[in-house]
Amino acid sequence: MAFAEHEVLIGRDAMSVYLFLVDGLNNPLWRDGIRSISLRSGKAGAKGAVYQQTLLGPGGRPLAADFQITEARPGAEVRFEVVAGPARPLGGYYLSTEGPNTRLRFALEFHPKGLQKLMGGMIQKTMEAEVLQLDKLKSVLEEENAA
């Protein structure tokens, strides 16, 4: 199994952070490597919504990484699963209030099967880089709040 997590303290209230995260169309504002994203089905930001996403893959090739929101608890949690592409991790954003701030933890896990087990090191490294992008999310949300 591959697992990665990272957490940050954001100078925004939990509901503002939640509303930004739960709408997958905001992902390009803070996640590098997204070539395109659109709502494929369901209601934006709601449990069951499926986002069609194309990432910049190895060698600059496009890589499908569609995901579905599997849990959406306002102000507290957003969970998702990748439903298209070569690697299909599960992930979640977990929010807790600390005074006027929000502690946000981003966790990813992946259970490789078959030949995917041979790519374990690369998958682990990719997931670690992905969760570290929370630092950029923190900057985006705090700058938005200051404006």
pLDDT score, position 117: 65
Q: Where are the alpha helices (DSSP H) in the chain?
A: 14-22, 120-131, 134-146
pLDDT score, position 43: 93
pLDDT score, position 135: 96
Residue ranges for the chain with pLDDT beneath 70: 115-120, 147
The gap from C-alpha 102 to its chain's centroid, in whole angstroms, comes to 17
Give the Cα separation of 38 and 57 in Å (integer). Answer: 18
Q: What are phi and psi of 57, to 5 degrees?
A: -95, -170
pLDDT score, position 136: 96
Closest listed residue to residue 78, CA positions, set 108, 37, 35, 112: 108
**Bridge partner residues of 24 (DSSP):** none
Q: pTM of the entire structure?
A: 0.90
pLDDT score, position 60: 86
pLDDT score, position 113: 77
User: Which letter, b or e, does each residue of 37-57 get, where b requires 16 or more Cβ atoms within 10 Å of its Cβ?
Assistant: beebeeeebebebbbbbbbee
Give the Cα separation of 105 and 119 in Å (integer). Answer: 25
Residue 6: both structure tokens together: 């990272």
pLDDT score, position 75: 95
Closest listed residue to residue 78, CA positions, set 48, 40, 54: 48
pLDDT in tens, 40-78: 999 998 999 999 999 988 788 999 999 999 999 999 999
List the domains of the chain with CATH numbers: 2-146 (3.30.530.20)
Give the Cα separation of 133 and 30 in Å (integer). Answer: 7
pLDDT score, position 5: 97
pLDDT score, position 97: 96
pLDDT score, position 118: 62
Residue 11: both structure tokens together: 């100078």
